[in-house]
Chains A and B, each alone.
Chain A
Amino acid sequence: MNSGSIIPVLNLLAAGAEEGHASAGPVAHGPWWVALIVVLPMLGAMLCGAAAALKVRSKLPAFLTVGLLGASCALAVSMYLELAGGRSITVSYRWIDFAWGTGEGQRLVANFGFYIDSLTCLWMLFVTGLATLIALYASEYMSHDQGVGYCRFFAAFNLFVFSMACLVMGDNLLLLYLGWEGVGLCSYLLIGYFYKRPAAVAAAKKAFIVNRIGDLALALGTMLAFVHFGSVEYAVIFAKAQPYIEAIKSGHLDQVPFVVQVIPLLFMVGAFGKSAQLPLYVWLPDAMEGPTPVSALIHAATMVTAGVYLIARTYPIFLCSEYALPVVAWVGALTALLAATIGMAQFDIKRIMAYSTVSQLGYMFAGLAFLSSAGAAYHVFTHAFFKATLFLCCGAVMHGFAGQLDLRKLSGVAFMKGWGIVGLAMLIGCLNLAGVPFTAGFFSKDMILAESFVTMGPGYQVLGWVLLLTAGLTAYYTFRVFFRVFVGPKTFEPGDELHAHDDHGHDAHGHDSRGDAHAEAEHGPAGHAAPGHGHDFHPHAPGWAINLVLLILAAASIAAALPYFMGEHGGWVPKLVHESSATTISDGHGSTAAFLASGLHEPGASAHGTLFGQDPHKIMYYVSGAIGAVGIAIAFVLHYAGRKTAGTSRADALVPALGPVAGWARRKWLVDELYDALVRTPLWVLSHVFHLIDKLLIDGLVNLFGWLPRAAAQRLRPTQGGDLHGYAAGMAVGLGAVLILVWMLIL
């Protein structure tokens, strides 16, 4: 093992300082074909839409999607090979362009242009790659719904990849905003895919509205960025932010205008919305109402990392602010802890995974704030693979056990016939999430954890301990799921729906079970999946597509550890990050940022903090490894050792001892209820009050004014009735007006 890699960031920071700020280099014109990465998914969306219009009932849309996304992925690889390391812009066409002068800042330009640097490449590689794999998985997973619904699913799926590509590749904040809201729309459409289920519709709506709160902040931040920098294009903004960074480097924080300090605060709120952080995280757990491939791709691996991407992309501006990164740190760490505590108490395995996503996103934000943008990006990268694996395993279970997701009703799944691959993939995913040594999740999480003790910031040491505690909790709840569901005695209770979506089926042509029959034929006489529940139910094991994708993803989750050893300084991902705009600035000591220059700590006074008197980078491996082991051990004792049934375990005995706390955690600390009481209900009451005011007061005054002359007129006009009387009256008045006009003229 490369011992130099233990201190990855510092060396790079020093190297970065020598070369100057990476994002300050020249911007080249990119090749035209990078636009195809965006165009191909759009084409896919249109073709799937056309397929829906033509009522295609085969798997054509799925394979079309896999093909186009695969091509897009191949282009992304080629983009990485050719363009990573440099900076280039490809303008496909001019989208918004409005000038009101010739001077600086008198022209709003937002092209459909693509800004390609290493960060873009990194994100596009895993976005397109995972999208291709998950589309293949979905081709089987959604097969019960072949027909218009199948087309609709893949159209939205393609549209999502298009939007995500715009978000990541856009060369300006407005195109990012287009992608930002576009992924929100696709998330809305896909969460609400089972649109007959009120819960799914409500969850979709909640996701969109909560995200809109963040979107507003992002929009305002964009406006402020334009007002200050005179442009919304990254290249211009970074160039103009450079003097501020230089000023901070030399300790002159006062040279950074207040406006510039506010911009990242607004961006930050947008990021909290999209990436489900406090206080806007509440939509993500509910988003699990969507089909599982959607949860895996959108709500675990890609879309929810958009907030991390936003901060990484606009890192130069964040570094200018005294307050932004510390706030991000606290929010991230507290979200990580809160979500982990909720996840420990849930029974729905998909929800547990959702809370763990929220929690892991918290780590990424904390990483960004600890000036370890490399660690954050690496965690995004590893998390994308292992969390997608975990979700797809949960999806396979849900698919096979008639929508059963309750960990008290499933046990020993991994040992059932045909479920070996699912069990193996689940184990690999869990090891990664729990941060077991030598897994990818272990290395990426440690990069962040170590940095919390290294970087000087307000309370960062405390946050480091919070995150370490959370790592233990994570190991516990992850293996709670594994020990309950995948090992132990083989028993199960099927869910109440054949496929969790049996009540769905917008085309009235009845349920199409060809896909199931196909799957069963391959995996032996697993019994017939009759719509009834109970005795004659047999789980049907996943087919080739699901197994293949799980194998690939599990392998990728393991392989994601390899980049850590590729090259110097912490590996491949940090190298990419430091070639991009997300690089940290440094004076060689590793922790010079605006909030440090502000006088909290004297820059350079201390190289970095310590943990147990040691260099955190060296000791963190052992500390976090030990904490993770403790978490897994507790899960083993409580949920595996001696467990005879699916429904009970030793943990049950502990619940009364915890008193009401366990119940509160199970009810998600009542945050949803709190928001209802504090925001939704008052707004609802206010709306009704407004409605009454409108009816009675405002319209009442109007009616009063209207009534007075009419009361008089009714005495003067004896004839009532007749369709046109009002019209006649109107004409008379109109004529009167003309007469008045003429009269005035003659005078």
Chain B
Amino acid sequence: MSATLLVILTLLPLAGAAVLALRPEGQARTVALWTTLLALGAAGVAMVQFRWDHGADMQGVGRLEWAPSLGLSLSVGADSVAMLLIGLTALLGPICVYASFTAIEHRRRTYYGWLLVLQSAMTGVFCARDLVLFYTCFEFTLVPMYILISLYGSTNRKKAATKFFLYTFTGSVLTLAGLLFVVWFNATQLVPTDGPGAGKWTFDIGALQHAAVRMSSGQQAWVLAAMMAGFAVKVPLFPLHTWLPLAHTEAPTAGSVILAGVLLKLGTYGMYRFVLPFVPSAVVEYAPFLAVLCIMGIVYAGLICWVQEDVKKLVAYSSVSHLGFCILGMVALNQIGLAGSVLYMVNHGLSTGALFLLIGMMYERYHTRSMREVGGLAAKMPIWATFMVFFAMASVALPGLNGFVSEFMCLMGAFQADSEFVRAGQVGATRGVLGPVYAAVAGTGIIVAAMYLLMMVGKMCFGPLREPHAHHAHESHAPPVLPPDLSAREIVILLPLAALCLVLGLYPRPVLQTLEAPTTRAVDWVWEHAGVRGAPLAPQGGRP
């Protein structure tokens, strides 16, 4: 896979947005759909060309010198983790566009234009190999999302959009400070003999990674705090999550899908790309603290889901709960947890994205999200209800569907990450600072998930049919745009997601195999540079 392909992947949606701006309003949908399909095709080509058996290596590396004296350049490259997320982004692109065909009736050019810009920015984050490109794209995702929410959201959209923007932006500024500190440290505190790129101004992630681990543990702790300020808000990690339910609830359907599917993953990806490699000794030190936050989020947000009436808010809170598992797997600091965490990023995007799509389809018909007003829809929308049950089961981590593999691996990672176990000679344990207790407490999340998701399915799909009173009046006045049950377009939107949920649930092996190398590299890096806390154990588990 060449660097050109990655650049094309990044810029193609942007070019589409430019074309769209020049074309009349009526063609906006078509242009957007073809652009995203083209991008999906390009992503397909990239994924075919990508050498998955060398998943740990950066592939498609390319560098465009911009201002060498300042160390400024634009460089791209992707390992298998990035590639998976690029694929997810490209897949959700056309789905979001196609899902908006009937929902967005006014100012289509603006809408689809910003949607395409957003896709460019997100892809850019995953392709970036230097801080400038990464951070620019990372921050720039805020603008299109802000506009999508504030212009096309529901009643409380202004407040939600502002809160989303300011909250995440504030966090990101701190992240920037942390990252810049590393740049400064590399340029001024190190000398060229310390390593490649040391002693000069550079924004290259690979070079900075070598520099960052030379920071003292005190410095690392501060950098960890700064980076987590941005990434944890983005994820979102308890207790920094309150922007999310509001933003999700108010956002248009496609906005919610992208938010849950990809934007949240920018935080987890940021942790994978920066937090683990840059500040290993701080991560090892604070992993239990982060894990406790994850577990609190899993249980706390899960229980809040259980008492929601607004179905969209329920799914939004469920993201907080779910991503707790994802981060828990990551801070387990072993391969199984990390691979589970990466897989969780993809799986959560598929299943929660699909749940938001389904809720959007329901909303287009009934114009309410309250489970008090609408419910029992299996009687009227059997196809919709079938998909709802399916994706709820994927979300509840039913084995055989995608969620299970990643959730089990995250919990398993936390469970076995116990250095005491290793000392006691338990062959299946790995180095780590968590342990069975963390996994057991976090595991209660799978019971809570069943509670709230089945409550949702029970109310939305089953029981006697309940429709809002205004609904019939609405139907009689306006000619029905949508059939009572799902249209062919809507089924086409959902089918690829459902198929992927099944495939990743029943045959996750190819993905797991390509994750073996990068996770091993990342975990070994962490423990090699973790300092004293990692030292007492003999190195365990060489590279396969």
- In this complex, what residue of A is CB-closest to B542? A101
Would A205 and B458 be within 8 Å (CB), given that A223-B411, A259-B426 are in contact?
yes
- In this complex, what residue of B is CB-closest to A189? B389
> Which A residues form the contact surface with B (CB < 8 A)?
93-106, 108, 148, 174, 177-178, 180-182, 185, 188-189, 192, 195-196, 198, 201-202, 204-205, 208-209, 212-213, 215-216, 219-220, 223-224, 226-231, 257, 259, 506, 508, 683-684, 686-688, 690-691, 694, 698-699, 702, 706, 723-724, 726-727, 730-731, 733-734, 737-738, 741, 744-745
B536 interfacial by beta-carbon distance below 8 Å: no
Q: How many angstroms from the CA of A98 to the CA of B508 in the assembled complex?
A: 10
Please give, as numbers and ranges, the residues of chain A lying within 8 Å of B239 by CB-CB distance: 698
B378 interfacial by beta-carbon distance below 8 Å: yes
Q: Which of A181, A195, A730, A744 contacts B378 (CB 8 A)?
A: A195
- CB of B335 within 8 A of CB of A98, answer yes
Q: How many angstroms from the CA of A205 to the CA of B306 in the assembled complex?
A: 13
- CB of A727 within 8 A of CB of B446, answer no
- CB of A97 within 8 A of CB of B509, answer yes
Please give, as numbers and ranges, the residues of chain A lying within 8 Å of B415 by CB-CB distance: 220, 223-224, 227
**How far apart are A35's CB and chain B's nearest CB, in angstroms?**
14
Would A229 and B427 be within 8 Å (CB), given that A100-B516, A185-B398, A208-B454 are in contact?
yes
Offer 9 A-B interface pairs, CB within 8 angstroms, sorted by A.
A98-B516, A100-B523, A105-B426, A182-B400, A195-B461, A196-B463, A196-B465, A223-B416, A687-B304
B525 interfacial by beta-carbon distance below 8 Å: no
- CB of A196 within 8 A of CB of B439, answer no
1/0 contact string of B417-448 vs chain A (CB within 8 Å): 00001001011111000001001100110110
- In this complex, what residue of B is CB-closest to A745? B70
- CB of A726 within 8 A of CB of B540, answer no
- In this complex, what residue of A is CB-closest to B338? A100
Interface centre among B165, B180, B412, B464, by most chain A C-beta atoms within 10 angstroms, is B412
- CB of B458 within 8 A of CB of A201, answer yes
- CB of B303 within 8 A of CB of A687, answer yes
- In this complex, what residue of A is CB-closest to B299? A690
Please give, as numbers and ranges, the residues of chain B lying within 8 Å of A224 by CB-CB distance: 415, 436
- CB of A96 within 8 A of CB of B512, answer yes
Q: Which of B139, B416, B429, B451 contacts A209 (CB 8 A)?
A: B451
Q: Which of B34-42, B80-88, B146-154 touches A? A: B146-154
- CB of B165 within 8 A of CB of A106, answer no
> Which B residues form the contact surface with A (CB < 8 A)?
70, 72, 136, 139-140, 142-143, 146-147, 150-151, 158, 161-163, 165-167, 169, 173, 176, 180, 184, 201, 239, 242-243, 300, 303-304, 306-308, 334-336, 339, 376, 378-379, 382, 389, 393, 398-400, 404-405, 408-409, 411-412, 415-416, 421, 424, 426-430, 436, 439-440, 443-444, 446-447, 450-451, 454-455, 458, 461-465, 506-509, 512-513, 515-516, 519-520, 523, 540-542, 544
- CB of A213 within 8 A of CB of B447, answer yes
**How far apart are B251's CB and chain A's nearest CB, in angstroms?**
15
- In this complex, what residue of A is CB-closest to B524? A100
**How far apart are B354's CB and chain A's nearest CB, in angstroms?**
18
Specify the main secondary structure of chain A where it touches its partner. Answer: helix
**How far apart are A188's CB and chain B's nearest CB, in angstroms?**
8
- CB of B307 within 8 A of CB of A688, answer yes
Q: How many angstroms from the CA of A15 to the CA of B201 in the assembled complex?
A: 79
Q: How many angstroms from the CA of A101 to the CA of B139 in the assembled complex?
A: 38
- CB of B443 within 8 A of CB of A702, answer no
Would A690 and B303 be within 8 Å (CB), given that A97-B509, A104-B427, A730-B146 are in contact?
yes
- CB of A226 within 8 A of CB of B412, answer yes
- CB of A102 within 8 A of CB of B307, answer no
- CB of A102 within 8 A of CB of B544, answer yes
Q: How many angstroms from the CA of A615 to the CA of B142 in the assembled complex?
A: 80
Q: Which of A97, A196, A209 contacts B462 (CB 8 A)?
A: A196
| Given A101-B541, A185-B393, A220-B439, 20 extra CB contacts under 8 A | A96-B405, A98-B336, A98-B515, A101-B544, A103-B540, A104-B427, A177-B399, A178-B400, A198-B463, A201-B463, A205-B458, A212-B446, A212-B450, A216-B444, A220-B443, A226-B412, A227-B416, A229-B428, A698-B242, A702-B242
**How far apart are B521's CB and chain A's nearest CB, in angstroms?**
11
Q: How many angstroms from the CA of A690 to the CA of B412 in the assembled complex?
A: 28
- CB of A205 within 8 A of CB of B304, answer no
- CB of B158 within 8 A of CB of A100, answer no
Please give, as numbers and ranges, the residues of chain B lying within 8 Å of A706 by CB-CB distance: 163, 166-167
- In this complex, what residue of B is CB-closest to A731? B143
- CB of A737 within 8 A of CB of B139, answer yes
Please give, as numbers and ranges, the residues of chain B lying within 8 Å of A223 by CB-CB distance: 411-412, 415-416, 436, 439
- CB of A227 within 8 A of CB of B426, answer yes
- In this complex, what residue of B is CB-closest to A100? B335
- CB of B513 within 8 A of CB of A684, answer no
Q: Which of A178, A204, A205, A727 contacts B147 (CB 8 A)?
A: A727
- CB of A745 within 8 A of CB of B201, answer yes
- CB of A730 within 8 A of CB of B201, answer no
- CB of A228 within 8 A of CB of B201, answer no
- Sort A-B residue pairs by CB-CB distance and give the 4 closest, nearest first: A105-B427, A101-B541, A100-B335, A178-B399
- CB of A228 within 8 A of CB of B139, answer no
**How far apart are A254's CB and chain B's nearest CB, in angstroms?**
15
Q: How many angstroms from the CA of A746 to the CA of B438 in the assembled complex?
A: 47
- CB of A100 within 8 A of CB of B334, answer yes
**Count of A-B contacts judged by CB separation below 8 Å:** 214
- In this complex, what residue of A is CB-closest to B340? A98
Q: Which of A95, A208, A687 contacts B507 (CB 8 A)?
A: A95
Q: Which of A198, A215, A684 contacts B307 (CB 8 A)?
A: A684
Q: How many angstroms from the CA of A95 to the CA of B239 in the assembled complex?
A: 37
Q: Which of B166, B439, B462 contacts A192 (CB 8 A)?
A: B462
**How far apart are A423's CB and chain B's nearest CB, in angstroms?**
36
Q: How many angstroms from the CA of A737 to the CA of B147 in the assembled complex?
A: 20
Would A506 and B446 be within 8 Å (CB), given that A97-B513, A100-B519, A196-B464 are in contact?
no
Please give, as numbers and ranges, the residues of chain B lying within 8 Å of A727 by CB-CB distance: 143, 146-147, 150
- In this complex, what residue of A is CB-closest to B435? A227
**How far apart are B418's CB and chain A's nearest CB, in angstroms?**
8
Please give, as numbers and ranges, the residues of chain A lying within 8 Å of B163 by CB-CB distance: 702, 706
Q: Which of A94, A230, A699 contacts B427 (CB 8 A)?
A: A230
Interface centre among B72, B158, B334, B450, by most chain A C-beta atoms within 10 angstroms, is B450
Please give, as numbers and ranges, the residues of chain B lying within 8 Å of A257 by CB-CB distance: 424
- CB of B411 within 8 A of CB of A733, answer no
Please give, as numbers and ranges, the residues of chain B lying within 8 Å of A688 by CB-CB distance: 307
- In this complex, what residue of B is CB-closest to A232? B428
Please give, as numbers and ranges, the residues of chain B lying within 8 Å of A215 by CB-CB distance: 446
- CB of B428 within 8 A of CB of A99, answer no
- In this complex, what residue of B is CB-closest to A214? B447
Would A687 and B307 be within 8 Å (CB), given that A100-B544, A506-B378, A727-B150 are in contact?
yes
- CB of B516 within 8 A of CB of A99, answer yes
- CB of B150 within 8 A of CB of A723, answer yes
Please give, as numbers and ranges, the residues of chain A lying within 8 Å of B446 by CB-CB distance: 212, 215-216, 219
**How far apart are A690's CB and chain B's nearest CB, in angstroms?**
5
Please give, as numbers and ranges, the residues of chain B lying within 8 Å of A185 by CB-CB distance: 393, 398
Would A219 and B443 be within 8 Å (CB), given that A185-B393, A208-B454, A227-B426 are in contact?
yes
Please give, as numbers and ranges, the residues of chain A lying within 8 Å of B300 by CB-CB distance: 690, 694
- CB of B428 within 8 A of CB of A230, answer yes
Q: How many angstroms from the CA of A152 to the CA of B427 in the assembled complex?
A: 46
Q: How many angstroms from the CA of A212 to the CA of B443 in the assembled complex?
A: 10
Please give, as numbers and ranges, the residues of chain A lying within 8 Å of B516 by CB-CB distance: 98-100
- CB of B454 within 8 A of CB of A108, answer no
Q: Which of B147, B306, B421, B542 contacts A687 (CB 8 A)?
A: B306
Would A209 and B506 be within 8 Å (CB), given that A101-B540, A691-B304 are in contact?
no
- CB of B146 within 8 A of CB of A100, answer no
- In this complex, what residue of A is CB-closest to B158? A726
**How far apart are B189's CB and chain A's nearest CB, in angstroms?**
16
Please give, as numbers and ranges, the residues of chain A lying within 8 Å of B303 by CB-CB distance: 683, 686-687, 690
Please give, as numbers and ranges, the residues of chain B lying within 8 Å of A209 by CB-CB distance: 447, 450-451, 454
Would A691 and B307 be within 8 Å (CB), given that A100-B520, A220-B443 are in contact?
yes
Please give, as numbers and ranges, the residues of chain A lying within 8 Å of B334 by CB-CB distance: 100
